[in-house]
Each structure stands twice: as structure tokens, then as C-alpha cells.
Amino acid sequence: MSAKQDGREIPKHIAVIMDGNGRWAKQKGAMRSFGHRSGVQAVREITEGCSELGVDYLTLYAFSTENWSRPQKEVDGLMSLLIKTIEMELSTLMKNSIRLTAIGDLKGLATGVHKKLLGAIDVTSRNKGLNLILALNYSGKWDLTQACRSICGEVIKGTIKPEAIDENLLSDHLSTKRIPDPALLIRTSGEMRISNFLLWQLAYTEFFFTEILWPDFRKKHLNLAIDSFNRRERRFGKTSEQLDLK
């Protein structure tokens, strides 16, 4: 069951496409890197907000597989910002009992970033509060591809029979295994696309798009998204009348 607060249903899992750092900086006549650095405050706010509200899982899309195509200087800046942020925020994660994990092709990250990330994942692994999941070098197509590869490997070994492949088995081979699908997806900056995020896992997620640029995103915007979520009728293929019978 999802947590309730002020009579509102709090989504168990919220996923966020944090977008608009570059445009935010451009509006201020600043470099894109300033936008990325300023986005860290929004990450703090939404993490704290979700923690206070009793959200179980918060997945943040921090770097997509496609983001490697950006100018090398920007990619390097994002990676060093990631290292710095993990270092700086570790004590806060511990204080608030937040458990950090990551999804994506982590072996594709530079050694320094990978090590720092695994270190923080290990240190926070026994925390019992919010699960903060960073999507890094992530793409939904990559996730489905690696799941297929892993299942095929087991079929060849004989540990899985092809007839046993069903939706649950596929879910269990995705990088999000044991994590419930997001109930709510938030994307900032007015873009209305998935950008190769959790393709399988978003099958029945409620989408919330806002014009707010990521560095300006605050707890009040998170609350607006949750209010909007509460006004939705999640029918999962049924009719409204069927839901009223419950």
C-alpha cells in the first residue's frame, strides 16, 4: 500500500527526468555547467521532499546513454559534478537513512566515477529510509537488451525453459528488479517525451509535465505533481464503473 499524507495517496515510486539545466543557464547568460551545478539544489530538495512524504523509491535520470554525444567538456563536467555531489551529500544520506543505488550500464562509466558510486552504494546499503536510485549511463533500450541477453544465456545453460519466459521473468532481469514500477513520472522543462528512460517500467505510469526548469524545481512543485496524481483515475484497462464497485 502507498503511504497517505493529508488524505493524499503518496506514490510508492516517483521517477524524474531532470531536464532544462542548459536552458536555465542560458536564460541567465551563464554557461551550461552553471545550470548543472545549480540543478544539485533541486536534487537535494526533491530527495528531502520524497523522504519526508514517505515515498519508498525515487529514481532520478541523471545521465542517459545518449548524453555521451554532448561536447566532451560538458560530459567531463557532469561526471566530475557527480563525483563531487556524492562526496558532499554522503553525510546527509546517512543522516536521513537514505539508501543509494544506481541503474544503467555502470561499467561504461569512468573508473573514478564508478568507484565513488559503488563506495556510496555500499556505505548506504543498510539504510532503511528512501531508496534513491540514480539512472546513470541508462537507456530503456539498453535495459531491455541486457535483460534479453541474460535470459538467453540462462536458456542456453538450461536454467530457464523458453516456456517459462513471461512478464515477471523479464521484469526480474531488468536493472530495476525488485523495484515496483513508478506510479508517477515527472519531467521538467516542458519537453514531453520519454528520452529512452524506463520504457518497460513506465507502461502504466501517470505522467506529469511541467514547464519549470530543473534548477528551479522545489518541494512545492513536487507537491503539485502529487496533487495532480491524486486527481487521476488509474483504471488499468477497467471502466470507471468497475472501480466504483470496489
Please state, in angstroms and rounded to a whole number, the distance separating the CA atoms of residues 140 and 84.
Answer: 27
Cβ of residue 19: shortest distance to Mg ion, in angstroms?
4
For residue 231, count CB atoms less than 10 angstroms from its CB and return exposed for 0-12, middle for 13-18, buried for 19 or more: exposed
Please report the sign of the dihedral spanned by the C-alpha atoms of residue 174, residue 201, residue 21, residue 47.
negative
Please confirm, yes or no, whether 143 is among the known catalytic residues. no
Is 19 catalytic? The answer is: yes
Q: How far apart are CA 118 and CA 111, in angstroms?
A: 10
- CB-wise, 10 or 58, nearer to ligand IPE? 58
Q: From the candidates 67, 127, 196, 223, give the one annotated as an active-site residue.
A: 67
The answer to whether the CB of 59 falls within 8 A of the CB of 130 is no
State the binding partner of 61 from Mg ion, ligand IPE, none, CB within 5 to 8 A by kind: ligand IPE
Of 38, 64, 124, 137, which lies in the binding site for ligand IPE, with binding defined by CB under 6 A?
64
Task: Kindly provide the b/e burial profile for residues 137-175, where b requires at least 16 CB atoms within 10 angstroms of the residue's own CB.
Answer: bbbbebbeeebeeebeeeeeeeebeeeebeeeeebebbb
String of contacts with ligand IPE for each residue 11-50, x by CB under 6 A: ------xxxxxxx---------------------------
Pick the stretch among 55-63, 88-96, 150-158, 178-186 that binds ligand IPE (CB under 6 A): 55-63
Letters for 202-241 (x = contact with ligand IPE by CB under 6 A, - = none) are ------------x---------------------------
Partner from Mg ion, ligand IPE, none contacting 64, C-beta within 5 to 8 A by type = ligand IPE
Question: Is 195 an interacting residue with respect to ligand IPE (CB under 6 A)?
Answer: yes
Residues in touch with ligand IPE (CB under 6 A): 17-23, 61-64, 66-67, 78, 189, 191, 193, 195, 214
